Amino acid sequence: MPRLSALLILIALAACGGEPTPAPQWYFTCGDPVCEGHRPDPGIPPCSFQHPGEACLPEGATCDPLDECNRRLLCATSDPTQQPGACPISSARFKRDIEYLSEAERWDLYRELRRFRLATYHYRAAGPADRQHLGFIIEDVGPSAAVDAEHDRVDLYGYASMAVAALQVQAAQIESLQAEVAALRREFGGRPAPGTSRATAYARPPTRP
């Protein structure tokens, strides 16, 4: 019945010459960057008859579809996930001023990430049954691509991108060391370098636990 009422109101608006441009409909919101299971929100009622793409009223209404990524349904005139600053969007057609990081900039992110202090914690609002979480504290980090200061939370997309930069730096270091080792082996023709025993020359470094 509520769905039928919304449709009748939209038809009436069109008949009166007021063209609904565009008509409100149900859209999914972004949800969590990393899906970790549904978390109920006491301020948002569960969805009953609402479905994405169907007409809705009033604009701004929302409900909880019990989604594993904690997306909500929002009654809106445009897709909220396509708005600037909404969900992390990776396609180039949605971006401008694209500049790729230089090697020096990747090194800066690598050094910054190494300073992050990891901690375990529980959320106060979740009560005593909250599971233990792992991460960093934004007050320990300060201004960073890994911090969404406006919303007082971690920017997971930026955090993950910093980790990728660190991996790229380490991969380049490993490749450089491997090339040096290969050059030394060719130079000495399989013989140990002067001043070293064969066992020392070819001993592998201990693996860290």
DSSP designation for 154: E
Which pLDDT value is given to residue 40?
86
Which pLDDT value is given to residue 206?
46
Q: Give the residue extent of every domain in the chain.
A: 1-89, 103-201
Which pLDDT value is given to residue 205?
52
Place of tokens 């694209």: 98
Task: Identify whether the C-beta of residue 80 lies closer than 8 Å to the C-beta of residue 86.
Answer: yes
Packing angle, helices 103-114 and 156-188, rounded to 10: 110
Q: pLDDT tens, position by position, for the chain (209 residues)?
A: 555 555 445 445 444 555 556 899 999 998 887 677 788 888 999 999 999 999 999 999 999 999 988 899 999 999 988 876 667 667 787 788 999 999 999 999 999 999 999 999 998 887 888 889 999 999 999 899 999 888 788 888 899 999 999 999 999 999 999 999 999 999 887 666 566 555 555 555 544 54
Lookup: tokens for 131:
């599971």
Lookup: tokens for 16:
């009166």
Which pLDDT value is given to residue 162?
96
Lookup: tokens for 118:
């990891």
Exposed, middle or buried, 56 (CB in 10 Å: 0-12/13-18/19+)?
Answer: buried
Task: Identify whether the C-beta of residue 130 lies closer than 8 Å to the C-beta of residue 123.
Answer: yes
Amino acid type, 51:
H
Cα-based distances in Å from 167 to 114, 152, 173, 207, 209: 12, 27, 10, 18, 19
pTM exceeding the 0.95 threshold for the entire prediction: no
